[in-house]
Amino acid sequence: MANLITQDMTVLVTPTSRYNGNQFDEVYVRTTIVSDGEIKAKYYVPNGSSLSNAALNLIQSEGLEFRPYLAEELLEGTNNIQESAKTGDPVDTVSDAAKLILLSALEIKTLEEVAKLESGKRVYNLEYKYKIFSEESNPNHYQFHVKLPFDGIEMANGTLKLTVVTPDKAKVNQTETKGTDDQNREIKEVVNELRQTGKSVTEFTYRRDPDFIVRYEYDANTELK
């Protein structure tokens, strides 16, 4: 298995909700991975499809989210969903159902190799986009969540970089925005507001297996002009 040297992810959130009745914002993700060898893994990534709030709630209740998954990880155990239902195993049935519902909004992709260096290092790109929905209890509050590095890539001494650009007139909630490492310790973010455009840039850098959350909110009835 290849070892990660660097994974640099840039996320652009577009304020689609300001035009569509606060239905959703759109997220564009581009990540560059530098590894010490070839990465052959195939990933299921978001395909831009929409899911109902009920479907999203089920997915989240099972600890799943819109992020790249190894094909074998996401499909593991789902082939027995009918048997689980017939034998009265609601826990396994719900778990499998959540995975399959999530699968319906994903597509399979391989990493695009853009360079093979003389040192043996490989450089890969991956792009995808999807929609994020406001919280039911807080209609103008949105949350972006990602776990790095991608599954199937070892990380011993590599570096992870995450940059999230949130829209004009959206305030980054610096209490809820955070990174968490594999020891459940908090990784502090750096948030900067761009003076000319009003957008905010949230940055994280880390060297272990972190989980990142960026939460932002609009004032009620905010429209872009």
Break the chain into its structural domains and give their ranges. Answer: 1-41+111-225, 51-110
pLDDT at residue 64 tops 60: yes
Q: What is the pLDDT of residue 8?
A: 94
CATH hierarchy code of domain 1-41+111-225: 2.60.40
Mean pLDDT (whole number) for 149-156: 80
pLDDT category of residue 210 using cuts at 50, 70 and 90:
low
Question: 24 or 207, which is more confident?
Answer: 24
Whole-number pLDDT of residue 187: 82
Residue 208 has pLDDT above 60, yes or no: no
Q: Provide the pLDDT for residue 113.
A: 95
Give the pLDDT band of residue 223 (cuts 50, 70, 90): low
Alpha-carbon distance of 146 to 214, in angstroms, equals 9
pLDDT above 80 for 207:
no
pTM (global) more than 0.85: no
Segment 9-37 mean pLDDT: 92
Nearest to 142 by CA among 19, 12, 25: 25
Cα(75)–Cα(1) distance, integer angstroms: 21
14 or 214, greater pLDDT:
14
Strands 112-116 and 170-172: unpaired
